[in-house]
Amino acid sequence: MTDLIPELRTPVAPDGTGPVQSGMAVSRVDGRAKVTGAAQYAAEVAAPDLAYGVVVTSTVARGRIKAIDATAALGVPGVIDVLTHENRPKMRAHDLAYKDMTAPGGSPFRPLFSSRVFWSGQPVALVVAETFEAARHAARLVGVTYDVEEHDTDMLAGLHKAYAPRPMTPGFAPPKSKGDATQAWNSAPVKIEAEYYNAVEHHNPMEMFASTVVVGADGHLTIYDKTQSSQNSRWYVSHVFGLGKDKVTVRNPYVGGAFGAGLRPQYQLPLAVMAALQLKRSVRVVLTRQQMFSFGHRPETWHRVRLAADAVGKLQAVWHEAVQETSRLEDYVQVVVNWSGHLYACDNIHLDYRLVEQDRATPIDMRAPGAAHGVHAMEVAMDELAYALRMDPLELRLTNYAEHDHLDDKPYSSKELRQCYRLGADRFGWHDRPIEPRSMRAGDELVGWGMATGVWDSLVMIARASAVLHADGRLVVSSAASDIGTGTYTVMAMIAAERLGLPLERVTFQLGDSTLPLAPVEGGSSHVTTVGGAVAGACDKLKNTLFKLARCRDDGLFKECKPKDVEFSGGRLHLLGQPERGVALADVLAQAGRDRVEEKFFMTPQLLKQRKFARAVHSAVFVEVRVNERLGMVRVTRAVSAVAAGRIINAKTAASQVSGAVVWGISQALHEETFTDHRLGRFMNHDFAEYHVAVNADIPDVQVIFADEEDRIVSRQLGAKGVGEIGIVGVAAAVANAVFHATGKRLRTTPITPDKLL
């Protein structure tokens, strides 16, 4: 039975919003709650008798804790306890207990489990006090001494140590090769070879990672957690602490951005639970912005790419190898090089991907993990090949357009990339581009135009949803989905409202509670196809049930009708095309003597059908840069992103996803880099003063175009493919290519900072 959980404060569209259809631009139903402060985030939930935990982190990158002296900290008025590996409550020892739903192969980190230190910034103690201020002060007084061991954080110096990853992550397939790329490259008339490098980047969502653990009278834990899956956090807490499913509920009704950092439980969650169990009272732990740099990050990546073409630009060989860092604990893997084998038509493809172990926290997915770096290298290389051929870069891509997937030798379930190239190039005005670098100027600045292709998976997972029509005609649809700012509340409510012909304000989509029907992590741009499919399925079943109830009515209006003879609109069930000949949905329930009708649906992908197809979303990105050569400054002055991502459900939230991702791509291209002091094995610029992210002044008008596309293989119910991550892919390459066009300087690393241009 799924009814509204009041504590979630689920948002609903304002009165007067009216009927909706997929493709419409609909404002977020949670927008008002967010800007007025009615939305509560994990660190804001009130609880009686709440204690506050502040984390102490290691200052060395590798070694063992020799001793922890908590005397001074415990002497601070208001301090309740200092938890360490020596006095923590019982936790399971086995690796498997710490595996969350998205854990890579290897042994997950076990917080405060032992004296072992794996990275600089690892949590080593938790100070708990009556106030946050007392805990924060006392945390500075905890004295930790270490037996220090030699560390290694320099991946570039350790490239020779690279090894093939154990492919133990769900969804990860090691790259395969095809034909003989080495031979083809050797004998081709036109070729390029180059090395590329992408620096470490960190997630910087607005909301800090936080967990508020509320201990009930019966010992039940209700945990408000910043996560991309309440059910993943619930599962993790149950396994780590040996607590039954009915003893723990995790909630995440509002999440202030996550971008992949919330795909795995972060360490504040087990620390907060540990303290709550130890003290038998409610505890909140919030990480600081600096501590947000002390867990997963987008790993630095080194690449070598070789491309070869015949005299007219037909690709003869694609050769892409990448090396990426991981931790000592786990083989974090992402799909880095595979995209290079899928992007273009080519018979000779060599792909290789290896890892180097470092004394750092395990990297974690960050928006379009793998593709954001892999496609950067490949698409800059394509630009280099275009110049080697003296060919327009867009023309080179069209010459090598893959009508089917060459690496897997499968047709595409849908692929409107050609439309993206055309629509994007027209909107941008690409056709007027002189090919020669350094041929456009505006005042003091050189002007350059660059483009790139983007690609990302079309994922579908499994999910359940329930749909309940209440006697008052209100529809409540539920699934343990998440809305990390992407628009889940809005889009799911739209799907349900359209299915049942209800005004949007009559539909509540409830998410963010681990007791709701099964939903996967909100990741991989899969929530619309997956949870959306479950919502559509549950609503279709509900319609059928309502139709059957209506057929039994006394007036016999629908007696002879088949489902195709009726429709749902305006809150009514009526004869097709005759809105006046029908009945309000509330009356269907009333006359059947029911106060609610509920249907559930279990959404599963059409695996057998899908296996026969390559499934991807595509984009074409065009940017203009202006470069001041004397200062080495690059400004992006225009950006157009044309995306083919199946049917778009909400034109507004989808465009926001893409433009936000383009902003991040520009930020990746020009600003974002976390520097390591290898003597200390520590990230140095762990705050907004020194880790630069793009701000409003860095961002021009970003135009988003959606190609006309529909995909019933990926999404039987909706024809959609998912739109979150594609927006960032290719952007950094387009910027780098534009910088080359402006200056004639080929820059093969991200970010492109002024020092590299001078």
**Active site residues per annotation:** 725
Smallest distance from ligand MOS to CB 210, Å? 18
Least Å from the CB of residue 668 to ligand MOS:
13
Burial of 157 (0-12, 13-18, 19+ CB in 10 A): exposed
| Cα separation values, 102 from 239, 363, 406, Å | 14, 12, 29
Give CA angle at 465 (463, 466), nearest 5°: 160
Residue type at 637 in one-letter notation: T
Q: How far apart are CA 448 and CA 632, in angstroms?
A: 14
Which residue of the chain is nearest ligand MOS when measured via CB?
260
Q: Which stretch binds ligand MOS (CB under 6 A): 243-251, 257-265, 329-337, 540-548?
A: 257-265
CB 49, CB 275: distance < 8 Å: no
476 in Cβ contact with 468 (< 8 Å):
yes
Q: CB of residue 413 vs ligand MOS: minimum separation in angstroms?
A: 20
Residue 642 to residue 638: CA distance in whole angstroms: 13
- What mask, x for binding ligand MOS by CB under 6 A, covers residues 258 to 297? -xx--x----------------------------------
Please choose, from the candidates 346, 417, 411, the residue with its C-alpha nearest in 3D space to the C-alpha of residue 382.
346
Answer for the pair 499, 685: CB distance below 8 angstroms, yes or no: no
Indicate the DSSP class of residue 216. Answer: P
Residues in 330-389 at the binding interface with ligand MOS, rule: CB under 6 A? 365-367, 369
- How many residues in the shown chain lie near ligand MOS by CB under 6 A? 10
Specify the residue for token string 């009272």: 281
**CA pair distance 461, 660, nearest whole angstrom:** 25
User: Candidates 138-146, 182-190, 255-263, 447-455 — which segment interacts with ligand MOS by CB under 6 A?
Assistant: 255-263
d(CA 122, CA 102): 20
- Give the nearest distance from C-beta 492 to ligand MOS in angstroms: 18
Integer Cα distance of 736 and 666 in angstroms: 10
Buried b (16+ CB within 10 A) or exposed e, 288-305: beebbbbbbbbbbbbbbb
Output the CA–CA distances (angstroms, integers) from residue 570 to 82, 473, 491, 503, 715, in the order listed: 60, 11, 19, 7, 26
- Tell me, residue by residue from 499 to 538, as one string, x for binding to ligand MOS by CB under 6 A and - for no binding: ------------------------xx--------------
Q: Which is nearer to ligand MOS, 99 or 470 (CB)?
A: 99
Closer to ligand MOS by Cβ: residue 299 or 369: 369
* Residue 364 CB, nearest approach to ligand MOS (Å): 8
Closer to ligand MOS by CB, 501 or 724: give it.
724
Q: How far is the CB of 510 from ligand MOS (least distance, A)?
A: 21
701 touches 624 (CB < 8 A): no
**Minimum distance, C-beta of residue 260 to ligand MOS, in the bound complex (Å):** 3
205 binding ligand MOS? (CB under 6 A):
no
* Residue number with CB closer to ligand MOS (12 or 531): 531
Comparison of 55 and 255: residue with beta carbon closer to ligand MOS:
255
Tokens of 487: 């628009």
The 10 Å Cβ neighbour count of residue 328 is 18
Query: Could you say which residues in the range 219-238 bind ligand MOS, by CB under 6 A?
Result: 228
Q: How far is the CB of 261 from ligand MOS (least distance, A)?
A: 8
| Pairwise CA distance, residues 287 & 289, whole Å | 7
Q: Minimum distance from CB of 368 to ligand MOS (Å)?
A: 7
CA atoms within 13 A on the CB side of 554: 4
Q: What three-state secondary structure class fits 163?
A: strand
User: For residue 477, what are its two tokens?
Assistant: 């649809």
Q: From residue 560 to residue 579, what is the string marking binding to ligand MOS with x (rule CB under 6 A)? A: --------------------
In the numeric block, which tokens belong to residue 299? 């790993």
Residue (45 or 643) nearer to ligand MOS, CB? 643
User: Between 137 and 226, whose beta carbon lies closer to ligand MOS?
Assistant: 226
Task: Report the C-alpha gap between 428 and 419 in whole angstroms.
Answer: 14
Q: Is residue 174 classed exposed, middle or buried when 0-12, 13-18 and 19+ CB atoms within 10 A define those classes?
A: middle
Q: How far is the CB of 72 from ligand MOS (least distance, A)?
A: 40
The sheet with strand 463-470 has its strands ordered as 507-510, 475-478, 463-470, 596-603
- Looking at 33-41, 162-170, 256-264, 502-510, which segment touches ligand MOS (CB under 6 A)? 256-264
Q: Which is nearer to ligand MOS, 108 or 363 (CB)?
A: 363
Shortest Cβ distance from residue 509 to ligand MOS (Å)? Answer: 20
Judged by CB, which is closer to ligand MOS: 255, or 550?
A: 255
Tell me if 730 sits within 8 A of 664, measured CB to CB. Answer: no
**Which residue, 198 or 419, has its beta carbon nearer to ligand MOS?**
198
For residues 746 and 752, give the distance between their C-alpha atoms in angstroms, rounded to a whole number. 10
CB atoms under 10 Å from CB of 122, counted, come to 25
Of residues 573 and 728, the one with the C-beta less far from ligand MOS: 728
Q: Return d(Cα 50, Cα 41) in angstroms, integer.
A: 16
Q: Residues interacting with ligand MOS, by CB under 6 A?
A: 228, 259-260, 263, 365-367, 369, 523-524
